[in-house]
Structure 1
Amino acid sequence: MVVIPWRPTTDRQYAYDLTVAHYRDLLPDTAVLAVDTNHQPFCLAGCRNRGVRLAEEAGADVVVLGDADTLPERDPLLEAIRGAATSGLVHLPYTAYRSLRRDGTAQYRGGVPLQDCNYVEVPGACSGVYVTTPATWWSHGGQDELFLGWGGEDAAWSAAHLTLLGAEPARYEGRVYALHHASAVKEGEQYTANFARIYRYHQAQGDPEATWKLLREGEVAHAERPVEGPQQASVAP
């Protein structure tokens, strides 16, 4: 199953549509599910966790968690799906994360192959596309749903993965391509809180007890949060 965290917005709709079409081309026999939660603001970590739960309920052995603007290459993705089934680690189907920005995205929309589009490489990226089994995802706590709005959940998750599973996520030689869209707001109290929380994960790195404590804080906050809107999950068109 492919899970795409998605809350519809006009400026990002085209990126979502291209991403769904890309997965349908790469994995034609695999269900593609768009997932949202009742978090306000949007919670990427919450969508990923819910997507894994839904995949588990559907009996999926492996789930691909793909951002609604990020396109993987075929061969590394297939290798990651095979590897994730048995390794006990989360797999990332890339070693290079390419941000196409406005110019590269325009080229792709105009028919230029992804590998030939203009890009800026983002060093150290650990987001965009994850491949995992449900058991592996829960074995290191999933992702922390106290990260709301933009930023932080990926870096915190990476630190937790290393601390609790004893290894970095497995990677496969290849690239993912992030499409351009309007940027999220990168300021304000929530933004500041997210990055203060990343710091706590980095401070806890290497300490399983401290890392689990942080993850439990997120679970408690999620359980106590009042419902502010509908949860949605639908087969992507």
Structure 2
Amino acid sequence: MTSATVCIPWRPQPSRIDAFERVQEHYRRVLPGASIVPLDTGHVPFNLAACRNEAVRRFGADGGVVVLTDADTMPEEEPLLAAIDGARTSGRVHLPYDEYHWLGSAGSAQFAGGVPLAACEYELVRGACSGVYVTTASTWAAHGGQDERFRGWGYEDAAWNVAHTTLLGAPIRHTGSVYALHHVAETRAGVHFDANAALMERYRAASGDPSAMASLLDERSAENALSAPGF
């Protein structure tokens, strides 16, 4: 069996617990014997980018493959296994899907009632670049991982995709689907969200320019080093 460590950025919230438990069960089925590790860096507000970076540092240090999965998202088995195998040597992050299915409340209820994921109602999310990443530590470091200046929710995935594509080429996608379960949506407004949107504009401006992107990553590395949980 192809091996990897599955890391789930996770801070308990009532509406997310059911999905979190179902995601763990899914990975126990498709990757039997794999370590499944929930992880929270303690930042306030919750920092998804920091959780992903810490997971790769902690569990990819020995050269192994790390699967970074959201606590509501499940990939199909065959593309996941292909992504794990490919990530070992490709030098790029792998996305084990080319279709992102958001099941919503209706589809999630169907799945809870025993309907197979592929048969549940869904909304197709076009251009999705989040949910499940498969990588090694060396690949993650080669394009800077994710920017921990994205606080709360919003844009960390899109910025990551721009940085990866500019510095390494596009992430490698595999034919298949991921399935995202319903939970109460996070608020995407306010001071942190506005700051995230402004930072995303800087990533867009550096898109396609490796020198400009490298400068942006150097700047963020210095700022990330000063950021601590609870800041």
TM-score (norm 1): 0.93
Partner of 1:158: 161
Q: May I ask how many residue pairs the two structures share in their alignment?
A: 227
Shift of residue 60, structure 1, vs aligned partner? 4.9
- 2:90 corresponds to which residue? 87
Structure 1 position 105 matched with structure 2 position 108: yes
Aligned counterpart, 1:144: 147
CA distance in 2, matches of 1:131, 1:5: 14
CA distance in 2, matches of 1:83, 1:99: 26
Q: Which residue of 2 aligns with 1:233?
A: none
CA RMSD of superposed structures (Å)? 1.2
Deviation at 1:78, TM superposition (A): 0.3
The reply to whether residue 23 of structure 1 matches residue 45 of structure 2 is no
Query: Residue 193 of structure 2: which of 187, 191, 205 is its match?
Result: 191
- Whichever residue aligns with residue 44 of structure 1, its letter is L
Indicate conservation of the 8 Å contact 2:166/2:208, yes or no. yes
1:98-149 Cα distance to aligned partner (Å, 9 max, x none): 0000000000001000000000000000000000111001000010000111
Structure 2 contact 44–229 (Cα < 8 Å) conserved: no
Other-structure match for 2:44: 40
* CA-to-aligned-CA distance 1:24-56 (integer Å, 9 cap, x gap): 111012111111112110111100000001112
Write the distance in 2 (CA, Å) between the matches of 1:110 and 1:54: 37
Aligned position for 1:8: 12
The aligned counterpart of 1:126 is 129
Q: Whole-Å Cα distance in 2 between the matches of residues 216 and 144 of structure 1? A: 11
Please tell me whether residue 214 in structure 1 is matched to residue 202 in structure 2. no
Moved more, 126-135 or 207-216: 207-216
- 1:64 maps onto 2:28 in alignment: no
- Is 1:225 equivalent to 2:212 in the alignment? no
Q: Which moved more, 1:32-41 or 1:135-144?
A: 32-41
| Structure-2 change in CA distance of 1:43 and 1:226 (3 Å) | closer
Match of 1:169?
Answer: 171
Cα deviation, residue 209, structure 1: 2.2
* Aligned sequence identity (%): 52
Cα distance in 1 for residues equivalent to 2:229 and 2:196: 21
Letter of the 2:53 counterpart: N
Amino acid at match of 1:29: G
Match of 2:59 in 1: 55
Q: What SS does structure 1 have at the residue aligned with 2:19?
A: helix
> Structure 2, unaligned stretches of length 5 or more?
none
| Alpha-carbon distance between aligned partners in 2 of 1:96 and 1:67, rounded to the nearest angstrom | 16
Structure 1: gaps spanning 5 or more residues = 230-237
- Cα distance in 2 for partners of 1:143, 1:42 equals 14
